Structure formats: C-alpha cells, structure tokens
Amino acid sequence: MTNERSARVWMAAASVLGAAAVVLGGLLAWRWDRGTDSAATGGGGPGWTATGPRAPTHEHADFAVVIRGERFDFSRPRYLSDTEGQELSEHVHIHAPRFTVVHVHATLVTWGEFFGSLGFRLTDPSFPGVTEERTCLELPSGEKLCNTAAERWSFIANGVPVDGLAAVNIGDLDRVLLSYGPETPGEALAKYWGLVTDEACIPSGLCAARIPANEPPERCSGRGTCTR
C-alpha cells in the first residue's frame, strides 16, 4: 500500500509540474513575441505591439515630444504618410496638415508601435521587466536618450504623469506628452503640457466648426472611413 500511495503522489506531482511547464512556456512565448516585433521598433528589441488579430478602426490622438525644452518636429517628410505615396504603417500614421495628430487604423496599436513606425525605439516601464533606469528613446539618427542622474523621461497622459507609454494602447482623443530633460514629471507637465495640441477631434469629425475655412479636406478623416 505504501508503494502504491507513493506512486500516486509522484504521478500527481508530475502532472502538476507538467501543467506548470506548459503555462510557463506559453508565458515565455508571449513575452518573446511582444518583445521582438521589429515593425514596432524599426529594427528589433522591445516593440510592445499586439500579437493577436486586429479589427479596423479610425481614431485620433494628439501628442508632443519635447527634448531639452524643444518640441520635436514631426512635419518632416520622413515621418509622414501620403508623402509621394509613402505609407509608413498600415496601422498608424501622421500626415499633413496636422503633424501632431496620430491616425489609428487598427485596434491594439500602442504608442511604442507608432514611434517604431517612424524609426524611433521607445523602451519604458509600461512593459513588465523594464525599470526606470532602462528607460530610453532611440532616435532615427541612432542617438539614444536614456534616463540619467541629470536627465530623465517624463510621460504625461491626458494631463496625468504615468510610468511609461510604450505598451499603452493609443486611445481615441488621447493627449500625451513625452519630455526629456532635467525636469520632474510635475515640472514637465507645468512647462510643456501647453505644447500638446487638442486637434484630434477635427479629423474625427467631432469639432468641424474649428476647421479653417480655406483648408482643403483631409484625405484621411471622419470616423469609420479611410482604414489605410
């Protein structure tokens, strides 16, 4: 009886361990998929993109990136879709005339994926396992801006400081600020929040009265239209 009981105990333990191994393997595979999506980073590394199926949508958000007190200029042709037929991403893009408004054309698009489509690489604590000390934004030029004792990244979402944005889905009419410099998040909010526009409602068709009278219609505007 003792041997039979021992055998049953070992069989039960083996079953539990086997199930745990399956779960752990699935978690590791999930993390690997989320951490190596090159489409989101412009070349490997943490990408923070969805790995499952997406649904078409059409939403918009305002953003600003401020580096050492200067707002980064996203009006340059290399960052724009529609420039001589250029389409940088099927899921998310910016274009004239509003260079501070993101157009989102699929569900589960993250801020990390958006910046990755433009050639940036954002790494921050919004993804598990990334510490504040490892927070960096790599520019398309290859320059890497990381948290140091003298300078740090501040992330503001809808007027509230947050740990990071890389793994955060872009929400309709969101407003976000990424600021790099000596400021604390509270100081960055006070100094630079005014640089974040609130024009996402215009291409969404929610504040048509604010469209300048002589402005030609956008190719990609209106809810539910222009999925590419």
Position 70 pLDDT exceeds 90: yes
CB 177 within 8 A of CB 185: no
pLDDT band at 217 (very low <50, low <70, confident <90, very high): confident
Q: Which domain holds residue 87?
A: 57-210
Question: Please, what is the Cα angle at 202 between 140 and 211, to 5 degrees?
Answer: 115
Q: Which two tokens stand for residue 89?
A: 């991403």
Annotate 103-128 with b (16+ C-beta within 10 A) or e (fewer): bbbbbbbbbbbbbbbbbbbbbbbbbe
Give a yes or no: residue 174 inside a domain.
yes
Position 114 pLDDT exceeds 60: yes
Return the pLDDT at 162. 98
Bridge partners (DSSP) listed for residue 197: none
- Are residues 9 and 89 part of one domain? no
Position 29 pLDDT exceeds 70: no
Position 63 pLDDT exceeds 70: yes
Mean pLDDT estimate for the chain? 81
- Are residues 27 and 95 part of one domain? no
Distances (CA, A) of 14 to 1, 7, 25, 101, 111: 20, 10, 16, 54, 43
> Which residues lie below 8 Å from residue 51, measured CB to CB, with a gap of 6+?
30, 33, 34, 37
Give a yes or no: residue 37 inside a domain.
no
- Are residues 107 and 20 part of one domain? no
Position 159 pLDDT exceeds 70: yes
Task: Determine the Cα–Cα distance for residues 134 and 168; give it in Å rounded to an integer.
Answer: 17
Return the pLDDT at 113. 97
Q: Name which of 199, 39, 31, 171 is nearest 112 in CA terms.
A: 39
Mean predicted confidence (pLDDT) in 169-185: 98
Mean predicted confidence (pLDDT) in 13-20: 45
Give a yes or no: residue 127 inside a domain.
yes
Bridge partners (DSSP) listed for residue 165: none
Query: How many angstroms separate the first and last alpha carbons of the chain?
Result: 69
Q: Does 52 or 176 have the greater pLDDT score?
A: 176
Q: Does 20 or 187 have the greater pLDDT score?
A: 187
- Are residues 201 and 139 part of one domain? yes
Amino acid found at 142: G
* DSSP code of residue 210: G
- Are residues 129 and 185 part of one domain? yes
Number of domains in the chain: 2
pTM of the complete model = 0.77
Position 80 pLDDT exceeds 70: yes
